[in-house]
Amino acid sequence: MNTVDQETGEGGGWRRARGNPSLEEVHGSIPVAEIGPNWRKFAAFLGPGYLVAVGYMDPGNWATSIAGGSRFGYTLLFVVLLSSLMAMILQALSARLAVATGRDLAQACRDAYPAPVAALLWLLAEVAICATDLAEVIGTAIGLNLLFGIPLEIGVVITALDVFLVLYLQTKGFRWVEALVITLLGVIAACFLLQIIMASPQWGDLVRGFLPSSEIVRNPDMLYLALGIIGATVMPHNLYLHSGIVQTRAYHAGHEGKRQAIRFTTIDSTLALAFALMINASILVLAASAFHAKGSTEVVELDKAHALLHPLLGSALAPTLFAVALLCCGLNSTVTATMAGQIVMEGFLNIRLAPWLRRLITRGIAIVPAAVVTIVYGESGAGQLLILSQVILSLQLPFAVIPLVMFTAERRKMGAFTAPRWLTAIAAIVATVIIILNLKLIFDVVAGG
């Protein structure tokens, strides 16, 4: 069990043999040329990173960025940058694990740990998937409400229909799924670009916002929001998702093929997360320019931000663009949550469910509490449920991050593709910081802070 395959460089330090791949219907379905220019090879790997990036601009991120920008202007842009750099490190490790071992993170946990431990990790991952879906249900419902005036409780039920879109795209091929996600990301970017042009930010202050400031640490309120931005950055389902979808590429299984695949998947995810950084920074910049600069410093709720854009920017188009971007984020997130759920179940349990059945189960679990709360408590209840979903994700995060860092640092499992010590050290620091901040946020929420 401790040998290293001389051809692939993969280690053999696993308790169980590698089973069938997750997402088997699209596994290795996108060809990668073994010869030709590097740009053509890289083009084959372009896509999974953008599906992962979707998770970094969900409604939870919107809420923290809007609150940070409206209250403190551009100062917290540095925190948005720092949190994105942290995410790039962990997602790079996720892709490295998949390429080096042929296992996604769920399969790696199943093959590395005793059955009771793996079962507990599976249960926690399923809870995280449901919490993720819950946030997306609420975000999509709010988008439908802002854009079309559909009541939240009805919007929550309508979100169940996206199952048909996801299933249809999967039958067309994985590139169609990626094309939809990237197209919607382009719409989101265009919406925020137009809104920022309308808001006319102070460019000098904006640039200085990306530089570290001691005020972030000295001001308790600013530090709290900074912790919120960092703590809500890395979502556990993204680590499972990324390690599964990079295997849709049919790269050569030899040492050189894997080495090249690790390089290109890392570039893909880094570029995509840089795009997510741009979107999250745009949300904060919009809030700083439209709200903070005009004296509205207590904007937190998405619907309140939407309502204030028209009178503050003097254009009816601004709130419409805001709602369109939010709706696109919700639709994108439902696509990626579907695949993440499938990867978690198939990877941990080696059970294959029909995609439509798996989707209906997770969406049903998310819709019921969302519908009940929005009917009984309305918009304020939906906002509290959104916060609860983020707390649940924070609780699950260590159980995904710690195994990932440990697996990629162990030569018996990774062989020649073991993460360099400097990368492992940075990843360990990042994981520790994120976990501590998430625990602090959970404590603050429980304590009523």
pTM: 0.88
Residue 312 pLDDT > 80: no
Q: How confident is the model at residue 160 (pLDDT cuts 50, 70, 90)?
A: confident
Q: How confident is the model at residue 308 (pLDDT cuts 50, 70, 90)?
A: confident
What lies within 8 Å, CB to CB, of 448 at 6+ separation is none
pLDDT tens, residue by residue, 317-328: 888 898 899 888
Residue 4's DSSP bridge partners are: 11
Specify the pLDDT at position 322: 87
Specify the pLDDT at position 378: 64
Q: How confident is the model at residue 277 (pLDDT cuts 50, 70, 90)?
A: very high
Residue 3 pLDDT > 60: no
* CA–CA distances in Å: residue 286 to residues 133, 184, 290, 338, 373: 27, 20, 6, 31, 30
Residue 449 pLDDT > 60: no
- With pLDDT > 90 as the criterion, what percentage of the chain qualifies? 36
Of the two residues 347 and 139, the one the predictor is more confident about is 347
User: Which residue carries 């010590």 as its tokens?
Assistant: 421
Q: How confident is the model at residue 350 (pLDDT cuts 50, 70, 90)?
A: confident
Most confident of 2-11, 16-25, 193-202: 193-202
Q: How confident is the model at residue 200 (pLDDT cuts 50, 70, 90)?
A: confident
Domains of the chain by range and CATH?
Answer: 30-446 (1.10.4160.10)
Look up residue 260 and give its two tokens: 């090249």
pLDDT tens, residue by residue, 389-428: 766 777 788 899 999 999 999 999 999 999 999 999 999 9
Of the two residues 211 and 135, the one the predictor is more confident about is 211
Specify the pLDDT at position 1: 40
Specify the pLDDT at position 2: 44
Average pLDDT over residues 307-319: 79
